[in-house]
Amino acid sequence: MKKLLILLSLCLVYLEASAQKTGQQDIDIQASIDDLMSAQDGETFDEALYENYLELLNNPLDLNTATEAQVRSLLFLSETQIKALLRHRQEQGALLSIYELQAIPSFDPITIQRLLPFISLSDPSQQIDRALFKRMLNNDNNYLIARVTRIIETREGFLTTDSSRRFMGDPQQYYLRFRSSRANDFSIGFTAEQDAGEAFAWKPDKQYYGVDFFSFHAQVQNKGRLKQLILGDYLLQAGQGLVLGGAFGTGKGGETINSLRRSQLGAIPYTSSVEHAYLRGLSATYALSKNFQLSPFFSYTHRDARLETDSLEMVLATSRPISGLHRNMTEMSTRKQLGESQYGIIGHYEGQQIQGGIIYQQMHFSQAIRGTQNLYQPFYFQGREATNYSAYANYTLYNFSFFSEFAKNHRGGYGYVAGMLGSLSPAFDVALLYRHYTTDFVTITSNAFSESTRPQNESGMYWGFKYKMNHTLQVSAYVDLFTFPWMRYRSYNPSTGHEYLLNILYQPNKTQSYTLQVREEVKERNLGIDHPFYLTGLGKKHSLLLNANYTLAPGLRLRSRWQWSRYALAQTSMGMALMQDISYDIGKLRISGRVAIFDTDDFDNRQYVNEQEVWLAYSLQAYTGQGMRRYLMLQYDVNKKLSCWMRYGHMHMMNSEFMGSGLDRTAGNRQQEIRLQIRLSL
């Protein structure tokens, strides 16, 4: 295996040396997303966030009408660039062409290249002179997506004779999505999904309407003082995410500066198929004056939960699964068992330099949630009610942006975050963030900046910078120091840790880019079952990433990527993965594929890798063990209205008698998957 890795490495070096410049501008969407999420692992990957960016690809942000908060949510632009764009729009009027971005100070070719897939420009001369219903009927941005996916090998859940564990549905996964939208005007749509093994049924008394998951939203915007109204499923993001953090927030990753500050997006439609991350009900934003808005919200939905009766015959929710799988009687017994209602209000002030507001949130559950019995979880949420308050403030001074939020819950726990983003020069950006979350600070709907998966039991200081040495070379880095006052998962002692990342991007032209990324993460962790007193040691993980994107000829794009890691605790282990991607356009046909080989000693060195997918789908693979991963995808645009995809994936593991685990296990050391999708523009 290692000899094969070395041989393939030499082949990739030869291909890179042979890459020639072309004059054709070629937008690599997957590379743009990887720039924001390049340091992914199992603890930080946010599939709802990933789908938000995929949705932007289909509904690009209109730079002529977007608010400052919406522009900031893209995470590609520095404070200097945001101010320059808004100033240009105010002084020169609406942008007439994407190429006009080159005339805005501080907009460099690398930034513009990253922006292109996610932005659009409306015609400034076009007037909205038709009724809302007619605009919906005649809207150009209407689409319907239908998708079916199947693992070819038969999984254990379809073979078992245990009636409580056997899957009730067929082996295909089905997905259907419709959306019609116009930027800052309206949006309406639905998403339906049926996982493999889930049965089609019509049981209204059990909230089962044909498919297992169904989501719907209808939104109108900018109707006088009513800035927006959403009915159905939505996300809420306000402040810095300490209480309401439902949307864009990548945490630490490839982007070291702009991802720190959360944007004041308020309510946005929910279009994902993730079954645990949405609010369902109503949200509105009403402008009381030019500068002050009120946003009340209400949500009532049912979450998955396992209910048990204690010795006092009280029904308690002992766990809350988030997989969204309901394939057999055991999994169905947890489906939508816990009623959740929440309501609240956001008061937001928007001034020239100062923005701020307050948040109130009240939550109720139909059954009491019982706290876990683990040593590290005594402060996790329990009970039937929760109340959260917060206040946030942002201040902009020249090219510096200061932001903060303080939040408190009904149990007395509190958390706060304060930070600064700034541009010391057009080429040099800096960031600083401090956060402190007490051990009893529990907010269920938060998504604030933190080292852990939730903002709790943590204090930390983050420094970051980005320096554009010239128009082709960019260096970015961060250092994060953190402490955990109480025990945490796999670390049964109060502990400290640190992390640093260095990212060097070289982009000599529009068709080539090369990335080097080095990362170190140090945390204390239990030494294992051989140490019954939960002794801990210092676990050190070092990671290295090399990535090259290049165009050999018009329509022919290649990507080479090598990842390596080493983890040291009681022993030292290593892992690596090597990938070669190719994409070739032949008229209306696009062919994309990958060959990846990997060799990891253990689960601590699993290699997380994004794969190119069909439109509005995502695939994050965790390579572990020894094996090979391949996929081939065909996209054919029949005409402007109809596009078709076919994707075939193949995983081959060395020295293995089966693939997967539990009910998803398949016999043999190979697993194949096929996916078909059509997109119809209406």
Contact (Cβ atoms closer than 8 angstroms) between residue 293 and residue 265: no
Q: Which domain holds residue 71?
A: 2-124+134-681
Q: What is the pLDDT of residue 52?
A: 64
Do the domain assignments include residue 324? yes
* Closest by CA position to 396, among listed 418, 367, 421: 421
Per-residue 3-state assignment (H helix, E strand, C coil) for 549-606: EEEEECCEEEEEEEEEEEEECCCEEEEEEEEEEEEEEECCEEEEEEEEEEEECCHHHC
Predicted confidence (pLDDT) per residue in 78-106, tens digit = 888 888 888 888 888 888 888 788 888 88
What are the tokens at 65?
A: 């009408």
Half-sphere exposure of residue 477: CA atoms within 13 angstroms, side-chain side = 10
Work out how many domains the chain is built from and give that number: 1
pLDDT at site 276: 85
Non-local CB neighbours of 159 within 8 Å, separated by 6+ positions:
none
The pLDDT of residue 277: 80
The whole-angstrom separation of Cα 211 and Cα 165 is: 20
Query: What is the model's pLDDT at position 328?
Result: 94
**Distance from C-alpha of 52 to C-alpha of 66, rounded to nearest angstrom:** 16
Helix axis angle, 47-58 relative to 29-36, nearest 10°?
140
**Residue 433 vs residue 17, higher pLDDT:** 433
Q: Between 182 and 321, whose confidence is greater? A: 321
Flag whether pLDDT at 22 surpasses 50: no
Parallel, antiparallel, or unpaired for β 292-303 and 658-659? unpaired
More confident residue, 228 or 125: 228
3-state helix, strand, coil in the chain (%, to 5): 15, 50, 35
Task: Evaluate whether 245 touches 277 at the Cβ level (below 8 Å).
Answer: no
**CATH assignment at residue 333:** 2.40.170
Give dist(CA 320, CA 31) in Å, integer. Answer: 35
Task: Name residues whose C-beta falls within 8 Å of residue 371's C-beta, 6 or more positions apart in sequence.
Answer: 377, 378, 380, 381, 382
Whether the per-residue pLDDT at 236 is higher than 70: the answer is yes
Task: Judge whether 481 lies within some domain.
Answer: yes
Higher-confidence position of 46 and 261: 261
Q: Residue 59: is its pLDDT beyond 80?
A: no
Among 482, 382, 486, residue whose Cα is nearest residue 442: 382
Tell whether 362 is covered by a domain.
Answer: yes
The answer to whether 25 and 98 have CB atoms below 8 angstroms apart is no
Query: In 132-246, which residue ranges form alpha helices assigned H by DSSP?
Result: 132-137
Identify the H or E element spanning 267.
Answer: strand 266-269
Cα atoms in the Cβ-side hemisphere of radius 13 Å centred on 315: 8
Establish if 129 belongs to a structural domain: no
Q: Any residues with CB less than 8 A from the CB of 286 and at least 6 apart, and which?
A: 225, 226, 227, 293, 294, 295
CA 384, CA 370: separation in Å to the nearest integer? 9
Q: What's the pLDDT at 471?
A: 85
Tokens of 92: 């020169």
- Condensed to tens digits (0 to 9), the pLDDT of residues 610-653 reads 888 898 888 888 899 999 999 999 999 999 899 999 999 999 99
What whole-number distance in Å separates Cα of residue 633 and Cα of residue 637?
Answer: 13
Q: Say which DSSP state 300 is in.
A: E
Count how many Cα atoms sit within 13 Å of the Cα of residue 150 in the half-sphere of its side chain.
9
State pLDDT tens for residues 525-583: 988 766 666 788 999 999 999 999 989 988 899 999 999 999 999 899 999 999 999 99
Return the SS3 of 410. coil
